[in-house]
Amino acid sequence: SEPVLKVENLKKYFPIKRGLVDVLKGKPERHVKAVDGLTFEIGKQEVFALVGESGCGKSTTGKLVMKLLEPTDGKIYLEGKDVTELKSKEEVREYRRRVQMIFQDPFSSMNPRFRIYDVLEEPLLIHGIGETRAEREELIYKALEMVKIIPPEDYVGRFPHMLSGGQRQRVAIARALILNPTFIVADEPVSMLDVSIRAEVLELMKDLKEKMGVTYLYITHDLSTARYFADYIAVMYLGRIVEMGPAHVVIDNPIHPYTRALLAAVPEPIPERREIIKELPIKGEVPNAANVPAGCRFHPRCIYMEKGLCDTKHPQLIEYEHNHWVECWLAGKI
């Protein structure tokens, strides 16, 4: 069947401001290549995780999908329709209904002076859903029940600060779902929550995926939650996907040295993988995206780096085995 979301060779470059001296000296304009050629597909009711350290381009990708940013190049299709071509106010508004976002910090995405009722009514009013107040109230109560904020009548009068972090995030999920979206971009939705309630919130999102038929792009730095929540995992490094495949394949048989290093950093290592993991210290930090290393971008940090190859030629993402993609010259040899 047709994928719900299809991304083709997506790029987002941000110009770096040049100083007057640079301009006078005729120094060429430089760019931060935040997203530099991403291609992936997400099937109906799948969870696709984009995993990587901060600064790798995950959130920029999320914003491009949300149409909060316009790509430098490449295409995004939602159910076959080219998103970059949506121009009229009406088309963009309908897209904004169908594609919802859940943020890391629900507090900063909610007006602190709005009661929970108003937080949930606002999107309905913006999109003209529910003609009467009674209709909207019914939708609001239903949405709260779905995310287990029960009984809703005990909560609708409260302000966001009167809820726990987990409850607030569940209200944010209700606010996204109340518009009956096709697709949800969830950017680090549980990383600010207590470890003890992360699983609960992800479990709820999983459950709602079945009930509501939504598809997720799950953005996270945390492979352990991706393993639990996602069907597919794409590991990003400096604007590129370096490994991608079904979650269990990427976790159980990581090929790219960066994926292996990320797995090594998971606090509770996965027992079967300890063998591979212990040999993999990661060197240094993510370089600045303005100074992407030549050749393989990961080469300055890679313990397998082969001089004359890895530091000069850029590897391509290839299908290493069925449905398992890797961007490394030494895939399968290390």
* Rounded CA separation 174/176 (Å): 5
CB 177 within 8 A of CB 214: yes
- Please give the residue whose beta carbon sits closest to Mg ion in the complex: 59
Helix (H) or strand (E) holding 329: none
In angstroms, give the least distance from the CB of 58 to Mg ion.
6
Member of 116, 173, 305, 317 binding ligand SF4 (CB under 6 A): 305
Answer with the entry of Mg ion, ligand SF4, none that 59 interacts with (C-beta below 5 to 8 A by kind): Mg ion
Q: Is 302 in the site for ligand SF4 (CB under 6 A)?
A: yes
- Residue count of the chain: 334
* Residue 238 in the binding site for ligand SF4 (CB under 6 A): no
Min CB(11)–Mg ion separation in Å: 18
- Give contact residues for Mg ion (rule: CB under 5 A): 59
Residue from 121, 94, 105, 243 nearest 183 by CA: 94
Q: Considering beta carbons, is residue 78 or 236 the nearer one to ligand SF4?
A: 236
Query: Helices 165-177 and 116-127, interaxial angle, to 10°?
Result: 20
Using CB under 6 A as the binding rule, whether residue 325 contacts ligand SF4 is answered as no
Long-range contacts of 248-251 (CB under 8 A, 24+ apart): 249/323, 249/324, 250/324, 251/223, 251/227
Least distance from Mg ion to the Cβ atom of residue 37, Å: 19
Nearest CB to ligand SF4, comparing residues 206 and 314: 314
Cβ–Cβ < 8 Å for 83, 95: yes
Residues 257-276 that bind ligand SF4 (CB under 6 A): 257
Contacting residues toward ligand SF4, per CB under 6 A: 256-257, 296, 298-299, 302, 304-306, 310, 315, 328-330
